[in-house]
Amino acid sequence: MHTDARTLENGAVIDADLCIVGAGASGITIARELSNTPLKVLLLEGGGFDFDPQMQELYRGENVGQPYYPLQAAALHQFGGTTGHWAGFCSTYQPIDFEKREWVPHSGWPIRREDLDPFYARAQKVLELGPYKYEAADWRNGDPDRVPLLNDSRVVRTQMWQFSRTRFGPKYRDEMVNSPNVHLYTHANVVEVEANDGLTAVQSVRVRGFDGKEHRVRAKRFVLACHTIQNARLLLASNRQTRTGLGNGNDLVGRYFMEHLEMPAGTLAVANPRATKTKLYALDFMNGTPRGELGLTPSAQQEHRILNGTASVEPGDPTDQVKSTFQLIDTAMQSKVRAWEKGGMKGPHPIGVAIQALGHPISGPPRFYHLKTRQEQAPNPDSRVTLSTEKDALGMPRAKLNWQLTDLDKRSMRTFYQVLGREMGRTGNGRVQIRDWLLSDDRTWPSFVSGGWHHMGTTRMSADPKQGVVDANCRVHGLANLYIGGAAVYPTAGAVNPTLTLVALSLRLADHLKTKL
Amino acid sequence: MTLDRRRFLQLSALGIVAIVADSACAVSSDRTDAAIDRPQLLVMLGPERVRQLGAYYRASTPSENSAGALRSALSSGQGSHIPLIKRGSLDDQVRDDFAAGRTVVVDGWVLSVTEARQAALFSLTPA
């Protein structure tokens, strides 16, 4: 079922077993899992089915920390969420990403990688990926040239990626609209979460439209799955009953905001271009062929006391002006991508064209390759989302993002390339150059500092309410029936993009909810 | 004065190779010298970059800012190989450097100390 909430009478009250706030990758995944069950499930989406500038404007906020992308362009506010313009990079978090690493403050999940494995396997299907295989040997595809660089290294590993083309909006719209027990409401922006008098459980959420009409949804259980920044914003703004906001008794909501650092950081010169096999690392944007990136092994990370990260390997000259992700995919590029997708995806992908244009004309096997970092940032309580004094058109305080990085972030990136350089030299494969900006002091970041619009943290997971907002089941500590879906619950960011893990965690949450409803 | 392999080994064993090599190489362009100041890097990065890297290295390491000092440093290399004899030994020394973490960052490039010195020597040869 589907209802446009704008058609409801003012003051409507809707009851359900489960209310999911937000119809992005997480919310839709949970709703699909609970579809065709006896449960009455409400899926509330603030936006409609299409891109709407007025709706998108609700995501505008302040950036007061490191230079960051405009918040209204960093996530999509419509059915399907940010999968409406994502690049589809999917890979699994490594076991080390879940572990407590004594050299990474605030690290450690209350679950292990093996707890997620069965859900990763299911998530592959949701995202229309290939088999649940992420070893380089799995993706040789019968081609003897698709082999890892430094195959026998104890220091360097290859992280494999698969690529999803799934846009949750068009892909799952009909399934949601036609579900017998999931009722989708679009244009249903939640502006407040309301708890009981004892603040031990959520009773309802308040929905408000641009026309001023308000509705209330009551349910046995609630899931906030409306994006990492917006989840925190909503909890913090739900401050009528408790000044600091719901679920925020320990001043943790909004803290530990994390990104993946995605920046050009090095160059690889190979010793023997004809003999160097880099095919496994080639980005085949149109066909989505699985590709590898170079990373360091867990033991190397431990030895050097650094964060987890990878480097893409793409042909190019050291003199090329390689762009960071924020520079490459600006708002103009986003518009191009939207137009390209709306037009039926004919011709080369605009991002692929832009990447090609950045390269250096190459004849024959390349001697040089650009190395672009993708790295977790260290969990940092000072990197946080708070509320702005400015309000949006619905009267909600806007989000204020203070993105902050630490010395460990930069030192890890530099050390990564030093170690990679040593290993390339030791094996006679080549030499690595570290970019100038990475060689300066650890506190200074260049103007092109960039994430990948991967918003994580803000309601981090921990078994200890003093260390995290949600428990291992994604339930908000202290609130019996409120859960968080999405990357907001990540205690650490891992080296790879968050969506596959987000879907896996959502499947796990859905299974948990089935036992509770 | 020329310095053949046998004589070099003898001198090396006596620990006086650096002094002799300095004066020998100053007037010689024999095969041994060619290995010293022709790092593998030349193939990878080209002469222009290597010359520049060598200049950077010398500028950042004043104590090695002369052909004599560089040859001395190379010949007293920290690995187990007797350096400066032939190409293969130097290449092994470079690999050993990387394996042992004897690296130096020059203009961002992660180099073996040996090859950085070779680049520095190369930068002192005529372009």
Per-residue pLDDT of chain A (517 residues; tens, 9 = 90+): 999 999 999 999 999 999 999 999 999 999 999 999 999 999 999 999 999 999 999 999 999 999 998 999 889 999 999 999 888 999 999 999 999 999 999 999 999 999 999 999 999 999 999 999 999 999 998 999 999 998 778 999 999 999 999 999 999 999 999 999 999 999 999 999 999 999 999 999 999 999 999 999 999 999 999 999 999 999 999 999 999 999 999 999 999 999 999 999 999 999 999 999 999 999 887 788 999 999 999 999 999 999 999 999 999 888 877 777 778 777 777 777 777 766 666 666 777 677 666 655 566 789 999 999 999 999 999 999 999 999 999 999 999 999 999 999 999 999 999 999 999 999 999 999 999 999 988 889 998 899 999 999 999 999 999 999 999 999 999 999 999 999 999 999 999 999 999 999 999 999 999 999 8
Alpha carbons B97 and B100: distance in angstroms, whole number: 5
Q: Within an 8 Å CB–CB cutoff, is residue B103 touching chain A?
A: yes
- Residues A432, B103: C-beta atoms closer than 8 Å: no
- Residues B98, A367: C-beta atoms closer than 8 Å: no
For the entire predicted model, the pTM comes to 0.90
Interface test with B, best of A156, A420, A422, A434 (most B CBs within 10 A): A422
- Residues A418, B110: C-beta atoms closer than 8 Å: yes
- Measuring CA to CA, how many Å separate A236 from each of A58, A314, A385, A466? 16, 42, 9, 17
Bridge partners (DSSP) of residue A145 are none
Q: Within an 8 Å CB–CB cutoff, is residue A468 touching chain B?
A: no
- Token pair for residue A273? 């271009």
- Closest in B94, B103, B108 to A436, CB measured: B108
Whether the Cβ atoms of residue A413 and residue A373 lie closer than 8 Å to each other? yes
Q: How many other C-beta atoms can be found within 10 angstroms of the C-beta atom of residue A392?
A: 18
Q: Within an 8 Å CB–CB cutoff, is residue B30 touching chain A?
A: no
Interface test with A, best of B109, B111, B112, B114 (most A CBs within 10 A): B109
DSSP state letter for B79:
S
Alpha carbons A177 and A172: distance in angstroms, whole number: 9
Q: How many other C-beta atoms can be found within 10 angstroms of the C-beta atom of residue B55?
A: 18
- Residues B98, A422: C-beta atoms closer than 8 Å: yes
Q: Within an 8 Å CB–CB cutoff, is residue A85 touching chain B?
A: no
- Chain center to CA of A471: 20
What was the ipTM of the complex prediction?
A: 0.90
- Measuring CA to CA, how many Å separate A75 from each of A60, A82, A329? 10, 5, 13
Query: CA-nearest residue of chain B to A317?
Result: B45
- Residues B43, A421: C-beta atoms closer than 8 Å: no
- Residues B110, A422: C-beta atoms closer than 8 Å: yes
Of A379, A377, A384, A382, nearest in space to A400 by CA: A384
Q: Within an 8 Å CB–CB cutoff, is residue B73 touching chain A?
A: no
How would you classify residue A187: left for phi > 0, otherwise alpha for psi between -120 and 50, otherwise beta? left
Q: Within an 8 Å CB–CB cutoff, is residue A264 touching chain B?
A: no
Whether the Cβ atoms of residue A313 and residue A148 lie closer than 8 Å to each other? no
- Closest in B44, B98, B105 to A434, CB measured: B105
- The upper half-sphere exposure of residue A230, i.e. CA atoms within 13 Å in the direction of its Cβ, equals 31
The residue to which tokens 């309000």 are assigned? A391
Alpha carbons A333 and A336: distance in angstroms, whole number: 5
How would you classify residue A36: left for phi > 0, otherwise alpha for psi between -120 and 50, otherwise beta? left
A266 φ, ψ (degrees, to nearest 5): -165, 175
- Residues A431, B97: C-beta atoms closer than 8 Å: no
Alpha carbons A445 and A448: distance in angstroms, whole number: 8
Q: Within an 8 Å CB–CB cutoff, is residue A428 touching chain B?
A: yes
- Closest in B44, B95, B105 to A426, CB measured: B95
Alpha carbons B50 and B45: distance in angstroms, whole number: 6
Q: List, edge to edge, every strand of the sheet that includes A397-402.
A: A62-63, A397-402, A384-391
Q: What count of CB pairs under 8 Å joins A to B?
A: 58
Model pLDDT for residues A7-59, shown as the tens digit of each residue: 999 999 999 999 999 999 999 999 999 999 999 999 999 999 999 999 999 99
- Residues B95, A423: C-beta atoms closer than 8 Å: no
Please report, as a single letter, which amino acid is at residue A136: A
Task: Classify the C-alpha dihedral A32-A502-A91-A288 as positive or negative.
Answer: positive
Interface test with A, best of B110, B111, B114, B118 (most A CBs within 10 A): B110
- Residues B109, A417: C-beta atoms closer than 8 Å: no
Model pLDDT for residues A54-68, shown as the tens digit of each residue: 999 999 999 999 999
- Closest in A367, A431, A435 to B110, CB measured: A431
Q: Within an 8 Å CB–CB cutoff, is residue B116 touching chain A?
A: no
Bridge partners (DSSP) of residue A430 are A270
